[in-house]
Structure 1
Amino acid sequence: MLIFDNIIETQNFLKSQHGKSIGFVPTMGALHEGHRALVKKSIAENDLTAVSIFVNPTQFNNPDDLKKYPRTLEEDCKLLEEAGCDVVFAPSAEEMYPNLPQLKIDFGFLENIMEGEFRPGHFNGVGIVVSKLFNIIKPNRAYFGQKDIQQVAVINRLINDLSFDIKLVVCETIREKDGLAMSSRNRRLTEDVRPSAPKIFQSLVIGKKLLLEGNSPFIVKNKIEDFYNSNPEFKLEYYEIADFETLEPITEFDKKRKTALIVAAHLGGVRLIDNKVF
C-alpha cells in the first residue's frame, strides 16, 4: 500500500496506472468497520482502490467540533492495509488549501433542510473538497455510506450537475450489534452515555412501525418528540420523514413510495445522525 501526502505525487502515480479502473473512498479518518466495508466493495469492483484521509476544515461550522474530531492516521493506515487498499492520500490542510477557496457551491433545496439548516455552509465545504478530490484521484467509481443520506444526495447532485464521469455507489449503513450506526464520532461517546446511543436507531424503528400502522407523518413526529422528551440525555435536533428520492418532507405516507426517516440528535455533547429507508 502506498501512502501519499502530496497532490502531484498522487496524481503522477495514478496516471501511471494506465487502463486500470479506480475505486475511491473519501474519508475524514478515524476509520471503522463501515469504512472497511466501503473499501472491500471498491476492491471487488475495481483494479485499484484509493482512500483519502482528510479532516476538511471548510465543512465544519463549529470550530470545537473540528478541534475534537478524532485523528488516528497510523491506526487508519493499518486498517486500510489489512483491508487490501492500494493507495492512501492523506494531505495536510495546507496542501489541499494553499489559499482558502473563494468559490461557493449552492445545492439549492438541500441547503435549507436538515443538515443544511443546522450546519450552514457545511455542504459548500463538502462540495468543494469532494470536487477537488475527484479531480486529484479521477476515479471511475466513488463509494459513500447511506448513513450520511443527505450528503449522498449532495454528491449525486455534484456529479450530475458538473458532469463528473464517475459512478456513485451507495452502500448500506454498517451497525454495531446494538443497532448504533458506526461513525467516527462514536469514539467520543463516554462510558456513561454510550448505553443510551442505540435509542437513536430505536426511534427510527418506532417511526417506521407507526407509519405502517397508519399514523400520519405529523402524528409520528409528535410521538417521536415525546420519545426523546422521555429520554432527556438526548437533545433532538431534527426528525424528518421524507421522500427518499428528493428528501423533501412528506405530509402523507404512501407504502408504494420509498420513504426515509432521518434523525440528528446530541448525546453527551456528541452529534449523531442516522436514517432508515423503506
Structure 2
Amino acid sequence: MRFASPILRLARTMSTSEALPKSDIPIFATVSAYREWREAAFHDRKSVGFVPTMGALHDGHLSLVKHSLAANDHTVVSIFVNPAQFAPHEDLATYPRTLPEDLAALTALAGPAGRMPSAVFLPPVREMYPSGITQDVSAQRGTFVEVKGLSEPGEGRTRPTFFRGVATVVTKLFNIVQPTNAYFGQKDIQQAMLLRRLVGDLLLANPTPERLHIIRTTRDLTSGLALSSRNAYLSPAELGRAPALYAALRAAEDAWASGANKHECLKRAEAVLEEARLLGQKDAVTVKSDYIEFFDPSSFQALDEAADRSSRGGLPTVLTGAMWVGKTRLIDNLVLDDDGTIVGR
C-alpha cells in the first residue's frame, strides 16, 4: 500500500508528542494528522468505513468493525467519550474507559487470516471542542447541531440534551473522517435514524444517508440481553434481571404479530416488567420501567393507542424501551416488519 509508511511515521511522531499507547494500528490524535492520511486515501480512490465509538468496546462494537472491514478498503475507528451528550448529573466521569483493552481487541481482529482497522482516531477533548465544552447546555458557547422533531420524543424525553450532543459530535467526526460508509448499532435505533436524517438534511457527501448503515443488535447468546458498555455497571444479581427488557419487548412483538393493538401490546410488556420487579425484590435488585413505546421510524412520533399491524399497512414500526436495573439505565428495541430498509441484514 503506497501510503503505509507515512501512516506509521505519523503514528510514531504522535506517540512521542502525545504519549499515546503503543499499538499495531496507527493512532491519530489530531485532525490535521488524520486529514493527511485521508487525503492519501482519496488520492488512491480507497473507500473508508467508519465506526464511531466511546470505547469500552464489546462484541457489538466489533461486529460493526467487521462489517466495515468486509465492505471497505480501509476502516477507521474513533474512540472519544463525548462530554456534550452527558447531562451534568450523568455518568461522564465514571463511563468505562478501557483503551489498552480496546486497542488489543481491534488488533486481534486480524487473526490468522483477518484484517484489522487501518487507523484509530483518538482525539482529546480540546481537539473536538476548540471553543471549550461544558455539560451545562445553558453555559455552552460555540456551534452545536440539533435535529428538530426527532430529538424530543423517546430517549429525548428522559435525556433532553443527549441528541444535541450526539448530533454535534457526529457532524464533527463525519467532517473529519470523511467516511465512504459509516456503521451504527441498532441498539441505539433513535440515534441512528436521527443521524440518517442529519446527513440528508445537511447534504453531506461522506456519508450519504444510504451509506449510513444500521447493524443488527448483538445479544448475549443465552439471555438475549443487548450488549452495552454500561452492562459493566451491573452486579451479578442485577445482570440476572437485566434481560427482562428484551423479554418485555418480545412479548409486545408477539402480541403485535397476532393482531393486538398498541394498548394491548404495551400491557403485555408491562406485565413482564412487573414480574421482573417482583422477582428483583427477592434479590434486593431494583427493577423500574422507564418507558416502552411504538414509534413511526420516519418521524419517531408515538403511534396511536389503537394502532395495530394492519393499520400500519406493512410499514416498519420501531418498538423501543428503557428500564432501570439498580442505578443503571438500559435501552433496547426491536424493528417490526422491517424489509431491510432500516436495519441491515
TM-score of the superposed pair, with normalisation by structure 1: 0.95
Structure 2 counterpart of 1:190: 235
Structure 2 counterpart of 1:80: 106
For residues 3-34 of structure 1, give each alpha carbon's deviation from its aligned partner in whole angstroms, at most 9, with x where no partner exists.
Answer: 12122111111212221110000000000111
**Counterpart pick for 2:122 among 71, 90, 93:** 90
Deviation at 1:254, TM superposition (A): 2.0
Consecutive unaligned residues of structure 1, counting only runs of 5 or more, are: none
Describe how 1:63-142 pairs up with structure 2 within 5 A.
Answer: 63-83=89-109, 84-100=116-132, 102-142=142-182
Structure 2 CA distance for aligned equivalents of residues 245 and 113 of structure 1:
12
**Counterpart pick for 1:203 among 238, 241, 248:** 248
Structure 2 CA distance for aligned equivalents of residues 62 and 217 of structure 1:
35
Structure 2 counterpart of 1:235: 288
The structure with more strand, counted as a fraction of residues = 1
SS in 2 for 1:204: helix
Deviation at 1:190, TM superposition (A): 0.9
SS in 2 for 1:95: helix
Show structure 1 runs of 4+ deviating over 4 A.
none
Structure 1 counterpart of 2:18: none
Q: Is the 8 A contact 2:247 2:272 kept in 1?
A: no
Structure 1 counterpart of 2:212: 168
Structure 1 counterpart of 2:74: 48
Structure 1 CA distance for aligned equivalents of residues 76 and 183 of structure 2:
10
Larger of the two Rg values belongs to structure: 2
TM-score of the superposed pair, with normalisation by structure 2: 0.77
Letter of the aligned partner of 2:73 in structure 1?
Answer: D
Q: RMSD across aligned C-alpha pairs, in angstroms?
A: 1.4
Structure 2 counterpart of 1:254: 309
Identity %: 40
Deviation at 1:160, TM superposition (A): 0.2
Deviation at 1:45, TM superposition (A): 0.9
Deviation at 1:96, TM superposition (A): 1.3
Letter of the aligned partner of 1:152 in structure 2?
Answer: A
Deviation at 1:62, TM superposition (A): 4.3
Q: Is the 8 A contact 2:251 2:268 kept in 1?
A: no
Structure 2 CA distance for aligned equivalents of residues 82 and 213 of structure 1:
44
Deviation at 1:47, TM superposition (A): 0.7
Q: Is the 8 A contact 2:154 2:300 kept in 1?
A: no
Consecutive unaligned residues of structure 2, counting only runs of 5 or more, are: 1-24, 110-115, 133-140, 278-285, 337-345
